[in-house]
Amino acid sequence: MSITADQLALFIGTLSVAILSPGPGVIAVSQSAFALGRRRALPYGWGLAVGASVWCIFALLGLTVIFRALPWTYVALKILGGAYLVWIAFKMWRHAADPLPDPAESSRGMGFFGGMMLNLSNPKPALFYSAVLLSIFPVLLSAGDKLAIYATAISVELAFYTALASLMALPWLRRRYYAAKFWIDRAAGLAIGLLGLSLILRH
């Protein structure tokens, strides 16, 4: 493999920071755990994890082919991906003090397929994964590299949503989570913003 353990560790850290900030999937899994317990919330969380990881596959399969055929797309995607990360960071920072809204739908009936479709309905993770992959790993990746990256991504996603569904079923932790939302968003926004700037400015 051409990728290093340090690169994989950075990938794990970046992905963890990105999914830590509350979003629709996090809110839905949290509310499901609050209302129905860990057992009912876990399948939905696993579906969200698999749905997000599918976008990682698309990013991995498409990058090498496109860059070989059209080298200029590498620079363009770096700039677009970096700008997108900076935009995400700005939104995280700006809305850090906003309260968490209630999910639009009831927690009933949430299952693996529903969670997967929620993340597949939003193509933005594809751009996010592309930007992160570009900023951390070499341009040309072997099949083994891609398999290692995907295995890392799905492991992080599954671990996060499993932990979220398990921990958010505890009422005392729910209160602490809401209380820490401001600092979670600010820290995540700063880290992702720096990554986006480095992607734009790095030669």
pLDDT tens for each residue of 12-71: 998 888 887 666 677 778 777 776 678 888 998 999 899 889 889 988 887 656 767 777
pLDDT tens for each residue of 153-187: 999 999 999 999 898 878 777 677 677 878 877 88
pTM to 2 decimal places: 0.69
Instruction: Report the C-alpha gap between 3 and 1 in whole angstroms.
Output: 6
User: Is the per-residue pLDDT at 193 higher than 60?
Assistant: yes
Sign of CA dihedral 168, 14, 9, 155: positive
| pLDDT of 108 | 47
- Average per-residue pLDDT in the chain? 80
Tokens of residue 16, six digits: 């963890």
- Tell me the one-letter amino acid at 18: A
Angle at 18 between CA 102 and CA 77, to 5 degrees: 120
Between residues 171 and 116, the one the model is more confident about: 116
